[in-house]
Chains A and B, each alone.
Chain A
Amino acid sequence: MNAPLRRVGVVVMVLFGLLFANLNWVQAYKADEYRNSDYNGRVQVAEYERKRGIIEAGGTPLATSRETGGELKFLRSYPKGEMYAHVLGYKPVNLADTGIEKSENEFLAGTSDQLFADRVRDIFTGNQTAGGNILLTLSPRAQEVAFKQLAENRKNVTKGAAVAIDPATGAIQALVSMPSFDPNPLVDHDSKKAEAAYNQLDNNKDGPLKNRALSEILPPGSTFKVITSAAALENGYTQNTQIPAGSSYLAPTAGVPIRNAVPSICPEAQVTLKEALTESCNTGFARLGVTLGAEKLKAEARKFGFEDEDLTVGRLNDGGQAVAASRTGSMQTPDGRDDPPTLAQSSIGQNDVRMTPLQGAMVAAAVANNGRQMRPYLVQQQLGPDRTTDYYTAVPKELREPVSPQVARDLQDMMVSVVQNGTGESAQIGGYRVGGKTGTAETGGVNGDQGWFIGFAINSAGVPVSAVCVLLEDAGSGGSAEAARISKEIMRAVIADRGGR
């Protein structure tokens, strides 16, 4: 019986050979496919093995992680709920991540190359490496005021945005989009619950998931007159140059005349440039635009940051959330000549001109900072897991110089006049030089017009403290005055947070 036994031995060898060959196939040849399969939950679980870092601003923790005892070891939580939602974003289990949670994911998760040394050290000390921490530029007080004032605005507007920037550095002091959402249910470890919460927000017609401050562009209305003014000042005009105005202006070839908001505004045939801005004289700026021409107007807007498709807000050296490009639109006929009717409309921020609230704040900031526009940023510092090692500290960067210091000072004077004598009176702050520009853009929407305000505050030492843009969508009449009032509250909060400096 030994011969068949030996053959059985051969069969055993063959069967084991097959097993061995197949294991090689699965664990060596196909390993990468299996390791990175969408069905493989191991990668995801591994991500939750390590404690994700904290996101904080001004000493206030905004995103934290706590141990659960479950398979996914750490649950992300956002103690401030809706207030910071659009800045922080969220880091869900199965959905896509957004905001700072997305742009700083590697550092927060502790997988960043920068933290390599920490991970190596922790292998030897046996500590579980935690993720790094992110410190934001936000002023908690300003953010809180911006959120509350927007949410409880006196016009009962449901959609809008507010952005505040430090004009001297570009550090973002507040960034709110309304309506907001609570990110906590979206990061629930029960992915069915998280998905349901997401779908509910996604189906909401007011679009709470949209970041209106960065990614929505809307007609800026009269706030655009600041740019038209800048174009004039750069082309030989002064604050006191008399420009033609009047109660009505019918541009060549236009069918419908441009009128002022109310008949009492600049009915005179001529007003100074400063008066035109102070009173928001539509006919004056429409004529001015047609006189200057489309090229000059568009070039000026570009100098302030319009048409910039590459701007991101996050760290200054890399990454961050993308910002939608603001547009001037076409003001020319197809054969390249100026089209007076659209040019006239565009000069007062109508027609195809579109702007993000961030862009509005950047325009005001550049004016306040004597013509130097700083690149906006949100991440002040990257701190290591131990909170002592500094991996990155923001060094403010100049983005561009839209106007000369002289032109900037003229614009400052004109905008201060708007707040002191004109349409932006509700933005006044005692002891500060506050300048601004209101805007009401006719969109033909159900509830009427967009209410805008862009403005800045300069302290008694001449240092710009804050530049703000507030937008109230479909606000109807008086929307821009309410936006000016909210801007004032935000700037006051910034001033209080800086200890009056």
Chain B
Amino acid sequence: MNAHPEPAHVLGIEGLPLARIEQFLSLAAAFQKTPPPRMLTGKRLLLLFYEASTRTRTSFEVAARRLGAETVSVSAQASSIEKGESLLDTVYTLRAMAIDGIVMRHASSGAPRLVADHADVPVINAGDGMHEHPTQALLDGFTILRHRGSIAGLKVAIIGDILHSRVARSNILLLSRLGAELRLCGPRTLLPPEFAAYGKNVRLYGELEPALDGADVVMVLRIQMERMHESFFPSEAEYVSRFSVTAERLRAARPDALVMHPGPVIRGVEISAEVADSPQSVIREQVENGVLIRMAVLHTVLGAKR
């Protein structure tokens, strides 16, 4: 399947040209003003989800349908994948059914790269292991832009399980490229020192208050409860006491700081209900913007003539 030049995959923020990032962001803004015509009528998009996902899969599905594309959903739980078929064999089989693009989520970092290396249609990474989740970062960047007009110079605090987070990785890469100052904060077990060199202008914090000090954006990550059993932190109570973003702690940030969360939100653990539902919270808007960003990505990648 390698006879053609490589299609325009979107595998991560790393390696994505700045011009393309700006194109996605401005196209999403245009779609917000004027709903687009059904530019992808006749195209068929495969949604290949090896990990359970409601919001991302639905978001891509809605985006594809708004553009007129047909979607085919395959999840690991209900397919030959469960019977032990290899990833590439699954992709070859599905490719034979006239697919124009693949959106995939997989628990293994790099799995979309493996598929992209063997596919002659565009592959869009909808989250791979602990690696990247580029459309989430784009929708987060887009949301910040809607409110602040520019990202350069903003102080963005990212709080929580940075180590295991593909959302954090993509956001660090995107926001630091766009000129933000990144403050990463979490327990040392979930924040290895190598993260300081992960993007430009990144600093690490083991305490919440200095990380939030004067922040323009507070991005809170989900804490996976199973991590507790891996001894990354002693207990939920201790995590909450040190890292939960409460209204009181949020006072260290700018009064108009945006509060973000990629969802699903577990109120009372990584973020208090009061903060999650406050006027500063743009959590629901992130979901809405997700559809716009995914429309922009699908339109660009699938609509492009090859």
The answer to whether A and B assemble together is no
A contact set with B: CB distance below 8 Å: none
